[in-house]
Amino acid sequence: MSLPRTLTQFVLALFVLASVALCQEPADLVVRGGAIHTVDDALGTVRALAVRDGRIVAVGGEDEVSPLIGEDTELIELDGRTVVPGFIEGHGHFLGMGEFAQVLDLTRAETWEDIVRLVAGAAEEAPAGTWIVGRGWHQEKWRRRPVPDVEGFPTHELLSSLTPDHPVSLTHASGHAAFFNRRAMELAGIDRDTAPPTGGEILHGPDGEPCGVFRETAATLVDRVRTADLSRRPPARIRADLRRAAQLAAEECLRNGVTSFQDAGTPFSQLGALEELAAEGNLPVRLWVMVRDGAGRIEREFAARRTKRAGNGYLTIDAVKLTIDGALGARGAWLLEPYADSASSTGLGRMEDLERLARFCADVRTQFCVHAIGDRANREALDVFEAVLEDREDPTGRRFRIEHAQHLSPADIPRFAELGVIAAMQGIHCTSDAPYVVARLGEGRAREGAYPWRSLLDAGAVIVNGTDAPVERIDPIASFDASVTRRAADGTRFFPEQCMTRIEALRSYTRDAAYGAFEEDVKGTLTPGKFADFVVLSQDILAVPDDEIANTKVLMTVVGGEVRYRRP
């Protein structure tokens, strides 16, 4: 049915009048006087921006936007500073980040002895029997090899002698291995004959006893004792602890200019805390959550929990996460050819639920996000995506994701664009892993397939950036810097021919990250109509010299038009 022509014109005229009237209504907030990078190709860089009811209503020159300043309009004068869209953390662990803020931070340890000292100190303060928990150690980042060592990892004796009454659990920076002391292993009933579960490995010392290091699924043999202790907390306490973790994580996001967070895997048991916070209006950053749980439970319960922009736009639960291999540092990444520094190993792969969950996600039209680091794991995921999506409507538009996509066979690089698969990669992993990537993969494989951003982008793939927080600090500036320089801490550059350009790196943190979650209609660019989520930076990350990028400070973080963080 079509309206008579004059009526159509009348309706159109009314609409135009209404929008003009709306535009002239004063803004709640106006920002002006600096470079405002909209990351919208049609708008480019502007000098002023206006917000009403949590959304952007106008961008342009100062003279175009200033008429929207009324008596009650909050005015932010940039004085030459820079605005970019709010950073979207493309792969992190929101509640894990909040929990990390409450356990021993081992990321800065320079030797194994540093860690032993920290843990022994914490044990002295805690009642006997209390678990001492730490996270973030990485043997490749220490100044010297521990003595004695097993494959470069420490053994438990020294630590155990200082912590006889406290079980100790120290998670590797990658999250794919853990270290336990004697007390923890005793409580779990581990001895020299304990067999590891599928997809896991228990490292033994020369005496044949477990040395304390448990890879991948093996870590759960010990951690389940702690998990059981935790599960005996009263439900109200569990909920309060989760809410506290969410609050701490959100504060850290805001300090770093992160306005949206793509959470890489929360189990059903923890979703309630996030749903509750969103419903109360107490989530200060926007979450997009992948559900990670058993395949059967996902099939049964996903539909009931699925939600889009609940709590006034702060909580989306609309994706499923599955992990099919481990990390490179701990030699858990699943490779097509053996490790260069461990000829007998190609890593650890787990295919059990890959096809089953891919079919489920394709059937219910939700995004499927597969953790794959090694080239074999990536190929398996792409093969299954291809087979499962092939005969469905809109096969390339489903935006299935590979989380990390860290090491790829050159043959698989074009498949990301061909299949419409999002590569959710972490710029900062490239430079922090650089010290051992060549050792693990050898020069040739590292050159052609490790963090191959340039090759992926040139082939037309969409890259979503992030930090995998708390594996790395949730610092978008550091990850942006790594993405455009690939410069490691020691100053060396890791195959710089694979660098992103500045604008590509910014897009990977904003526009493309929003696309990676089907959220480009409301996020990722400073386009009128979208959420007023943006960040004021001390300097222009698209213009300062390379060496200056890291000195950029987040001065202000605005979510939904509200200033949620101001740098003191």
Binding residues for Zn ion (CB under 5 A) = 264, 468
State residue 564 phi and psi, 5-degree precision: -100, -15
User: Shortest Cβ distance from residue 426 to Zn ion (Å)?
Assistant: 8
Beta strands in 39-167 (DSSP E): 45-52, 55-60, 74-77, 82-85, 87-92, 104-105, 132-137, 149-150, 153-154
Q: How far is the CB of 214 from Zn ion (least distance, A)?
A: 19
Q: How far is CA 287 from CA 89, 152, 278, 469, in A?
A: 10, 38, 9, 14
Least distance between Zn ion and beta carbon 327 (Å): 9
- At closest approach, how far in Å is the CB of 176 from Zn ion? 10
Shortest distance, CB of residue 91 to Zn ion, whole angstroms?
6
Q: Which is nearer to Zn ion, 264 or 388 (CB)?
A: 264
| Nearest residue (CB) to Zn ion, 28 versus 468 | 468
Burial 119-146 (b: 16+ CB within 10 A, else e): bbebbeeeeeeebbbbbbbbbbbbeeeb
Comparing CB distances to Zn ion, the nearer of 159 and 463 is: 463
Q: How many C-beta atoms lie closer than 10 Å to residue 150's C-beta?
A: 16
Q: Which is nearer to Zn ion, 96 or 311 (CB)?
A: 96
**Which contiguous run of DSSP H or E holds residue 403?**
strand 401-404
Helices (H), 232-309: 235-255, 268-280, 295-305
Give the CB-side neighbour count of residue 510, counting CA atoms within 13 A. 29
Q: How far apart are CA 76 and CA 85, in angstroms?
A: 16
Residue given tokens 């159509």 in the structure block = 8
Q: Which is nearer to Zn ion, 398 or 429 (CB)?
A: 429
Give CA–CA dist 505/480, Å, rounded.
6
Q: Which two tokens stand for residue 308?
A: 């889009």
List b or e across 253-283, with b for residues whose CB sees 16 or more CB atoms inside 10 angstroms: bbebbbbbbbbbbbebebbebbbbbbeeeeb
**Residue 275: alpha-carbon gap to chain centroid:** 20
Rg of the chain over Cα atoms, rounded to whole angstroms, equals 25
If the CB atoms of residues 318 and 468 are measured against Zn ion, the closer one turns out to be: 468
Residue 540 CB, nearest approach to Zn ion (Å): 31
Our CB check for Zn ion shows the closer of 29 and 264 to be 264
Identify whether 234 is preceded by a cis peptide bond (ω within 30 of 0): no
Nearer to Zn ion, 65 or 264 (CB): 264
**Residue 348: CB minimum distance to Zn ion, A:** 16
By C-beta, is 432 or 557 nearer to Zn ion? 432
CB of 367 to Zn ion, least distance (A): 16
* SS3 of residue 161 by DSSP: helix
Q: Minimum distance from CB of 371 to Zn ion (Å)?
A: 7
